[in-house]
Amino acid sequence: MTVIYSHRKGKTTKTEDMTMTKNEDRINKLFKELVPETGKADSLAGELVRAMSRIAYRFYNDGDMVNIAYGKETCNPAARFLIAKGNAEVSSLTAGLWEIFSEDAYEKVMDILCGAVVDYVEQNPDLRTQPTEDMWDFKDEEEDQDDSWDEEEDDWDEEDY
């Protein structure tokens, strides 16, 4: 069963389906340990887990993908955070999400990325004590806007309705 945790408005929510990968199980355990109920994590380790969980939660819950439509608003800041603060593997895999348009391929890369984030956090215990920036500080106000509404408005003709 896939369970990707997200804290919103003071309560934990989760997305479920019938399968859970080993990497999803690992990130969920770290999420419970390192991510507060609201706001940014206290440590870089926690914020890395929070950013990864945000990207996964938005995909499994709403189908949002990095740099596509509403995913620009919901996922891009977390992806930029992982690129800036992760190790080379985390950064490279995250950058790869920007170029994937197939949901199946995106899900596979996301699972590998999830494992890479967990490995990075587990292999670097000092990340648990390092202060961190909020992943939302990595939002690009110009680029991280859903432009799909503009396309839909262009196709709309009042006479058709």
79 in Cβ contact with 156 (< 8 Å): no
Handedness of CA 80, 27, 56, 96 (dihedral sign): positive
Grade residue 147 by pLDDT with cuts at 50, 70 and 90: confident
Per-residue CA distances from 96 to 12, 46, 56 (Å): 29, 22, 15
d(Cα 42, Cα 35) in Å, to the nearest integer?
8
Grade residue 148 by pLDDT with cuts at 50, 70 and 90: confident
Grade residue 149 by pLDDT with cuts at 50, 70 and 90: low
For tokens 């896939």, the residue is 2
d(Cα 138, Cα 34) in Å, to the nearest integer?
20
Q: Is 4 helix (H, G, I), strand (E, B) or coil?
A: strand
Question: What is the pTM for the complete model shown?
Answer: 0.82
Type and span of the H or E element at 12: strand 11-16
DSSP sequence for 61-97? HH--BTTBTTHHHHTHHHHHHHHHHS-HHHHHHHHHH
Query: What pLDDT digit, counting tens, does each position of 48-99 carry?
Result: 999 999 999 999 999 999 999 999 999 999 999 999 999 999 999 999 999 9
d(Cα 160, Cα 105) in Å, to the nearest integer?
37
Q: Is 103 helix (H, G, I), strand (E, B) or coil?
A: helix
Which residue did the predictor score with more confidence, 161 or 94? 94
